[in-house]
């Protein structure tokens, strides 16, 4: 008998990779997507099953984390073996602008899932994965951060996720539910949302490589993150729910890198060397040399000489956050020893994957016409 999984947030980065992974493992996958005025299923279109086909294994349902009736009736109808609660307003900066909505979707949304399982008497049947986050550590109390490090959230998003974390622990302890937290550090990919810093950078570097003479504006380039590949991280989610006992796990690479160095590495992928000068809001990055041969082999055209001497990065304080998380780095010992998990991608391989994909995307003529380029600096 195939297992049945319900994924909230199936249209997001992790939801898409997880759905693909679980289908490959033989699961029947149900996903909750929000109604939107334009199609929002681009990340899962390649695994979409036409409702007219027989033997379907992927089912999509309309729903919203802010709607308890909808969540409860879907859980009742699907009776899943596993629920992966990935849906969230997941942008830290935007959470300062929409704090109430963020709390509703991210904190109460988690409660709605747990309560649905409890009320429907599925406590002994349905296992729950909660998408917790390294943002919980915020103003870090320890380096590196492990499952025992105290939390100090620094944004409405992180505070909402703190509730999600503890309500998951509480339902596990109170009702004996198989409910676990994955405390995942930043994970990225070619399908990462365009408003997160890594994707913003790989998109911009790709555009500039292809001749667009714009400048990339960023916020705090000194911030450091422990970046992994989303494909590795969805494997960890499945491993967490496959354990006989529920528990909480840090999923991280153990290596931290600044935003500035991520920019350096993304330009490095196309053979361009960037030098930073200036302090604070006056900081900027200029291309000082380009390896023409490497540029041509990676970009597929030209020698990159158009980039030489150009200012390609500057600071816009609009991207600063009212309270910042300066540095995150995870201790993945528990995941390695108890789950047997380890990442297959390092940061070089992650950046190569993202750059290859964005160079291809940006080279599409129709992308230019759609304004993909003009919106490069619009995002948060």
- Residues in touch with ligand NAP (CB under 6 A): 8-9, 11-15, 32, 34, 36, 40, 64-66, 86-90, 105, 131, 133, 184, 186-187, 193
**In whole angstroms, how close is the CB of 335 to ligand G4F at the nearest point?**
16
For ligand NAP, the closer CB: 8 or 256 = 8
- 18-77 residues in contact with ligand G4F (CB under 6 A) are none
Annotated catalytic residue: which of 135, 249, 256, 345? 135
Q: Which entry of ligand NAP, ligand G4F, none binds 180, CB below 5 to 8 A by partner kind?
A: none
201 CB-side CA count, 13 A: 28
Report the candidate in 208, 204, 188 with the shortest Cα–Cα distance to residue 196: 188
Q: Of 3, 310, 321, 334, which one interacts with ligand G4F (CB under 6 A)?
A: 321
Cβ contact 321:151 at 8 Å: no
Q: Of 92, 183, 204, 205, which one interacts with ligand G4F (CB under 6 A)?
A: 92
Q: Which entry of ligand G4F, ligand NAP, none binds 171, CB below 5 to 8 A by partner kind?
A: none
Beta carbons within 10 angstroms of residue 5's beta carbon? 26
Distance CA 102, CA 167 (A): 16
**In whole angstroms, how close is the CB of 106 to ligand G4F at the nearest point?**
9
CA dihedral 135, 138, 140, 144 (to 10 degrees): 10
**In whole angstroms, how close is the CB of 109 to ligand NAP at the nearest point?**
6
Q: Of 135, 248, 331, 358, which one interacts with ligand G4F (CB under 6 A)?
A: 135
Query: 168 catalytic, yes or no?
Result: no
Q: Which entry of ligand G4F, ligand NAP, none binds 319, CB below 5 to 8 A by partner kind?
A: ligand G4F
Annotate 147-165 with b (16+ C-beta within 10 A) or e (fewer). eebebebbbbbbbbbbbbb
Distance CA 81, CA 358 (A): 37
Q: Of 18, 218, 237, 313, which one interacts with ligand G4F (CB under 6 A)?
A: 218
Element at 82 (helix H, strand E): strand 82-85
Cβ contact 180:249 at 8 Å: yes
Query: 157 catalytic, yes or no?
Result: yes
Cβ contact 83:75 at 8 Å: yes
CA dihedral 131, 136, 140, 142 (to 10 degrees): -60
- For residue 250, which phi and psi values (nearest 5 degrees)? -80, 130
For ligand G4F, the closer CB: 161 or 298 = 161
Q: Which entry of ligand G4F, ligand NAP, none binds 197, CB below 5 to 8 A by partner kind?
A: ligand G4F
Residue 200 binds ligand G4F (CB under 6 A):
yes
Query: 135 catalytic, yes or no?
Result: yes
Cβ contact 319:219 at 8 Å: yes
Q: Which entry of ligand NAP, ligand G4F, none binds 13, CB below 5 to 8 A by partner kind?
A: ligand NAP
The binding site for ligand G4F (CB under 6 A) comprises: 90, 92-93, 133-135, 185-186, 195-197, 200, 218-220, 223, 225, 259, 319, 321, 324-325, 328, 380
Question: Known catalytic residues?
Answer: 133, 135, 157
């Amino acid at each position: 008998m195939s297992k049945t999984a319900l994924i909230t947030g199936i249209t997001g980065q992790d939801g898409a990779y997880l759905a693909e992974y679980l289908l490959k493992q033989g699961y029947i996958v149900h996903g909750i997507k929000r109604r939107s005025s334009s199609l929002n299923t681009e990340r899962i279109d390649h695994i979409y099953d036409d409702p007219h086909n027989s033997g379907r294994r992927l089912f999509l349902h309309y729903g919203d984390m802010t709607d308890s009736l909808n969540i409860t009736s879907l859980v009742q109808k699907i009776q899943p073996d596993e629920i992966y609660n990935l849906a969230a307003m997941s942008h830290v900066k935007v959470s300062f602008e929409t704090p109430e909505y963020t709390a509703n979707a991210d904190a109460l949304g988690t409660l709605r899932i747990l309560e649905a399982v409890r009320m429907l008497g599925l406590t002994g049947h349905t296992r729950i994965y909660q998408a917790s986050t390294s943002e919980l550590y915020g103003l870090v109390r320890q380096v590196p951060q492990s499952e025992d490090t105290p939390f100090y959230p620094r944004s409405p998003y992180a505070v909402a996720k703190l509730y999600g974390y503890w309500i998951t622990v509480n339902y596990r302890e109170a009702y004996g539910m198989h409910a676990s937290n994955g405390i995942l550090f930043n994970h990225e990919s070619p399908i990462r949302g365009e408003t997160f810093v890594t994707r913003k950078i790989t998109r911009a570097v790709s555009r500039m490589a292809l001749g667009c003479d714009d400048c990339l504006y960023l916020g705090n380039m000194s911030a450091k993150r422990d970046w992994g590949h989303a494909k590795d991280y969805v494997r960890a989610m499945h491993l967490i729910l496959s354990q006989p006992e529920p528990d909480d796990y840090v999923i991280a690479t153990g290596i931290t890198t600044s935003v500035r160095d991520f920019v350096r590495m993304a330009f490095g992928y196309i053979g361009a060397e960037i030098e930073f000068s200036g302090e604070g809001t006056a900081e900027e990055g200029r291309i000082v040399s380009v390896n023409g041969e490497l540029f041509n082999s990676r970009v597929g055209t030209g020698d990159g000489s158009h980039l030489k001497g150009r200012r390609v990065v500057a600071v816009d304080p609009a991207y600063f956050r009212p309270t910042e998380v300066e540095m995150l780095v995870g201790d993945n010992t528990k995941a390695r020893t108890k789950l047997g998990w380890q990442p297959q991608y390092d940061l070089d391989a992650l950046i190569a994957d993202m750059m290859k994909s964005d160079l291809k995307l940006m080279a599409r003529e129709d992308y230019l016409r759609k304004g993909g380029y003009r919106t490069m600096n619009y995002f948060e």
